[in-house]
Structure 1
Amino acid sequence: MMRYAAYYAPKPDSGLWRAGCEWLGMDAVRGGRVAQAAVEGVAAETLAALTREAARYGWHATLKAPFVLKPAVGEDDLLHQTMALARTFQPFALSLQVGWLGDFLALRPAGPSAELDELAAACAVSLEGLADRRAPLKPRDGLDPRQQALYRRWGYPYVFEQFRFHLTLSDRLVRGSEAAVLIERGARRHFAGLLDQVSVAGVALFVERDEGGPFRCLAYCGFDGEATRHGR
């Protein structure tokens, strides 16, 4: 069953998009593997293994987590709703930094952003009416009572005051391990010069057409009202 998600993703012609795709070895717009960046001290096959799940989801930060559309709702309905939502926002900028979120590496905001929190909340609420929530949720461990309640209501525990913006750089790592240290160092080098004044100017729709398969960028809905369709 297909799933859709609303993500932040850099524009496909930007340096941050290219750098992220090279880091993961996957381009979700063009729909295929790309040559993965080299990290000093880490074998290519090791880096591929430690970014495999992140690569499957594509270079992104979650605004509304993957969900199934209601039977009567189609892709065009989702696109039009997302375009309408995007038009209500103005572009803004973020400063990002390489850091840890739990036991995986990510690009995180260098400071709080009210605009970002508002965008994520709007995506969670505005698109929820299109989501089919009839299927039971898979159990998730490690959530506190508030996160469990949000997960039951919204299908994702990290919304509203629990929202944690991040562009994932790795699968789970043991912090402090040799691999973790080398990959963190490599990420800082790889993204150097790209993380100040990062533009947020739209919402990207991604789709997982086959369960467990790669996510692809379906469309980029700009805050200017323009939408660019990508893979179908």
Structure 2
Amino acid sequence: MTRYAIYAVPGALGAHDDAAAVSLRAAAETWYARQDFSELTVSARRYGFHATLKAPFRLAAGHTEAELQDALSRFAAARTELVIPALSPRPLGAFRAMLPTGDLSGINALAEETVREFDHFRAPLSREDIARRRPAELSLRQRELFWQWGYPYVYDEFRFHLTLTDALPPHQAHEVDAALADHFADVTGQDVALRSVVIAVEPDSAESTPVESTPGESAPAESTPAAPFEILSVHPFAPTITT
């Protein structure tokens, strides 16, 4: 069955977006395209450049894709742009991601509201969903969040990040860190505006589809390659009025 996710993707509005966000997204896409580190970006490429707001889910019975899009359009139109402060490529566990530094209250509130407001669109967890997430390996708080919201890294366990790599073998960490610092030098440290949210879709995902490994956790084995996520629709925030 098809899975949907709600993501923050800086630069998703293209020419209508913040210039720094567009530059960051372009740098990320060329990073994913690099052949010298392709074996270390397999999962990151499949999920695409994004920060998760509502983790991948199957639609609950009685809901449609069009309903989800309409609801997210209304949700986005009731909000204005946010600033993601001082992004730079840094370690997050064994992973590497673009991480912000500074006041994250706005982006954290957006993530909490997204999780809460769209949970009625999420189908109940299947046995396969539960097995793949390995709840026994989660902390007590993460298990509580997983059972309630279908994903353990929400609310107080949420950390905004734009993933750049899969889990790195220790012997390659220094080489990758140096490459990331060079590749993202022109966009490192910039404040980036977030002017929209997106719906991403994974077409016809099978029950064996692996979960997205979250920085800080061990990556589940991917026995069967799944279709890459694609942006289905972009939902702009209300324009910021300046005087």
TM > 0.5 fold call = yes
Q: What are the residue-to-residue correspondences of 1:136-215 with 2, within 5 Å?
A: 136=127, 137-138=130-131, 139-140=133-134, 142-175=137-170, 177=171, 179-195=172-188, 196-211=190-205, 212-215=226-229
Aligned residues with identical type, % of pairs: 34
Given residue 185 of structure 1, which amino acid in structure 2 is its aligned partner?
Answer: A
Q: Can you give the 5+ residue segments of structure 2 that lack an aligned partner in the other structure?
A: 15-21, 206-225
Residue number in structure 2 paired with 1:64? 54
1-structure distance, mates of 2:66, 2:238: 19
1:39 aligned residue: none
Are 1:126 and 2:79 matched, yes or no? no
Report deviation, 1:224: 2.1
Deviations 1:123-179 (A, max 9, x none): 10011011111523224254210001101111111111110111111111134x2x2
Distance 1:156 1:81, change over 3 A: same
**Equivalent-residue separation in structure 2 for 1:70 and 1:193 (angstroms):** 43
Higher strand share: 1
The Cα offsets for residues 84-107 of structure 1, whole Å up to 9 and x where unpaired, read as: 111222112122121111111111
- For residue 93 of structure 1, the aligned residue among 55, 59, 83 is 83
Matched, 1:17 2:25: yes
2:96 matched to 1:105?
A: yes
Query: Which letter does structure 2 place at the counterpart of 1:8?
Result: A
What amino acid is aligned across from residue 190 of structure 1 in structure 2? H
Q: Which residue of 2 aligns with 1:3?
A: 3
Task: After superposing the two structures, state which structure 1 stretch, 153-162 or 191-200, moved more.
Answer: 191-200
Q: What is the distance in 1 between the residues matched to 2:174 and 2:40? A: 13
Structure 1 unaligned blocks of 5 or more: 26-35, 37-43, 226-232
Q: Secondary structure in 2 aligned to 1:172? A: coil
Q: Structure 1 residue 112: deviation in Å?
A: 3.6
Residue in structure 2 matching 1:53, options 27, 30, 43: 43
User: Is contact 2:125-2:150 (8 Å) kept?
Assistant: no
Task: Give RMSD over aligned pairs.
Answer: 1.5
Separation of aligned partners in 2, 1:210 and 1:194 = 36
Tell me, in whole angstroms, the C-alpha distance in 1 between the residues paired with 2:89 and 2:203.
Answer: 30
How many residues are matched? 205
TM-score by length of 1: 0.83
Gap change, CA 1:210 and 1:115, over 3 Å in 2:
same
Distance between the aligned counterparts of 1:67 and 1:115, measured in 2?
24
1:192-219 deviations in Å (ceiling 9; x for gaps): 2324111111111100003221000111
The answer to whether the 8 Å contact 2:90/2:98 transfers is yes
Amino acid at match of 2:4: Y
CA–CA distance in 1 between the matches of 2:138 and 2:87? 26
Counterpart residue identity of residue 209, structure 1 = P
TM-score by length of 2: 0.80
Matched, 1:135 2:126: yes
Provide the C-alpha distance between the structure 1 equivalents of 2:89 and 2:137, rounded to a whole number of angstroms: 24
